[in-house]
């Protein structure tokens, strides 16, 4: 896989695929992996597209969660 831009600390398997959970979250908070970069059962375009959608939604949720944590209580 083309993993040259993957930050250090992100777990990868022995073949260089990023290990991510079902929400495309990696071992580094705020870093998501999708498509052919992610370790999974099959590399198909439909799966890569679905990964992209899942990663985008998970990233948006992560950003909102971080914003909520940063806001003072009661606002």
pLDDT at 14: 96
pLDDT at 72: 80
Query: What span, in angstroms and rounded, lies between the C-alpha atoms of 75 and 64?
Result: 14
Query: What span, in angstroms and rounded, lies between the C-alpha atoms of 19 and 51?
Result: 13
pLDDT at 71: 86
**SS3 state of residue 44:** coil
Query: What span, in angstroms and rounded, lies between the C-alpha atoms of 55 and 18?
Result: 13
Domain architecture of the chain: domains with CATH: 1-68 (3.50.50.60)
Query: What span, in angstroms and rounded, lies between the C-alpha atoms of 26 and 54?
Result: 13
pLDDT at 74: 62
The mean pLDDT values, 10 residues at a time, for the chain of 75 residues are: 94 97 97 94 92 97 95 72
């Amino acid at each position: 896989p083309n993993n040259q831009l993957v930050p250090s600390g992100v777990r990868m398997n022995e073949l260089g695929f990023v290990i991510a959970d079902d929400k495309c979250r990696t071992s580094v908070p705020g870093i998501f992996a999708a498509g052919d970069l992610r370790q999974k059962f099959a590399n198909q375009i439909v799966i890569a597209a679905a990964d992209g959608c899942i990663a985008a939604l998970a990233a948006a949720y992560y950003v909102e969660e971080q914003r909520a944590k940063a806001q003072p209580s009661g606002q």
